[in-house]
Amino acid sequence: MNIALQRVCGGCTACCKTHAVYEIEKPVGKWCPHCEPSRECRIYADRPKGCRGFRCEWLKGFGEEDDRPDKSGLVLDYISFRPLIPRLFQIWESRGGALREAGVKELIDLSLRNCIPVVLFYSSGKREFFSGGMELSKEVEQAMRREKVKIL
């Protein structure tokens, strides 16, 4: 059976901190008021559309059991900003220091070798963009500057 079909969030609540939820005005990097960290979402059955539609890469089958976001401290997510950026790999830090741990550099390098740029979202609020040589439009560069994303 496909491992992605077997995986569930369970006690993992990492994305309840890392991601913004516009329907309930929850900002990036702050715990959702409906979340009991490391336990559960108190409104899971009736969670907002933004939460319902999100599936991290671990839920989709990437990695091993220890790569679950609450264990690794990282929420991995591939998204698209077509036509500006066809594919983007986002790595969100849910636990301070997790982006400095072993394996992260390899994830970044693998993505860049496959011509997929990477954005790192640190729990401190710092953001870094690795283009991997991809030429960015002025529109994308301006948006990144506005959002205080460091382009590397």
The per-residue pLDDT for 30 is 94
Taking the C-alpha atoms of residue 17 and residue 21, their distance in angstroms, rounded to an integer, is: 10
Spell out the domain ranges in the chain. 10-151
Model pLDDT for residues 27-74, shown as the tens digit of each residue: 999 999 999 988 889 998 999 999 999 999 999 999 999 999 999 999
Q: Which of 75, 78, 106, 80 is nearest to 93 (CA)?
A: 75
> Residue 2's pLDDT band (boundaries 50, 70, 90)?
low
Q: If DSSP codes are grouped into helix, strand and coil, which group holds residue 11? A: coil
Distances (CA, A) of 106 to 34, 70, 102, 113: 34, 20, 8, 10
The pTM of this model reads 0.90
In this structure, of 64-73, 79-88, 143-152, the range with the lowest mean pLDDT score is: 79-88
Q: Identify the DSSP state of 29.
A: T
Higher pLDDT, 3 or 145: 145
Burial class of residue 81, CB neighbours in 10 A (0-12, 13-18, 19+) = exposed
- Per-residue pLDDT reduced to its tens digit, 125-143: 999 999 988 888 898 889 8
SS3 132: coil
Task: Quote the DSSP letter at residue 122.
Answer: -
pLDDT at 1 over 60: no
Is 138:151 a contact under the CB 8 Å cutoff?
A: no
Q: Give the residue with greater pLDDT, 3 vs 49.
A: 49
